[in-house]
Amino acid sequence: MPSYAIVSRPDAVSERLKERLNRILSDQGFTIAEDCPETVLVIGGDGTFIYAVHKYIDVLDRVRFFGIHTGTLGFYTDYRDTDFEAFAADFVHGRVTEFSYPILEGKTEHETFYGINEIRVENAVRTQEMNVYLNNSLFEVYRGTGMCVSTQLGSTAYNRSVGGAVIQDGLDLIQMTEIAGIHHSKYRSLNSPFVMAGDTEIAFTAKSFAGAMLGADSEVFPLDNARRIMISVSDSKRVRMLKGRNVYYFDRLQSLF
Distance CA 190, CA 194 (A): 8
Catalytic residue among 27, 35, 46, 90: 46
Distance CA 159, CA 175 (A): 8
Give Cβ neighbours of residue 230 (< 8 Å, ≥ 6 apart): 106, 107, 108, 201, 202, 203
The full DSSP string for the chain is --EEEEEE-SSHHHHHHHHHHHHHHHHTT-EE-SSS-SEEEEEE-HHHHHHHHHHTGGGGGG-EEEEEESSSPPSS-S-BGGGHHHHHHHHHTT--EEEEEEEEEEE-SS-EEEESSEEEEEESSSPEEEEEEETTEEEEEEEEEEEEEEETGGGGTHHHHTTPPP--TT--EEEEEEEEE--SSS-----S-EEEETT--EEEE-S--TTEEEEETTEEEE-TT-SEEEEEEEEEEEEEEEESS---HHHHHHTT-
Give Cβ neighbours of residue 12 (< 8 Å, ≥ 6 apart): none
Task: Judge whether 224 counts as a catalytic residue.
Answer: no
Report, as residue numbers or ranges, the catalytic residues: 46
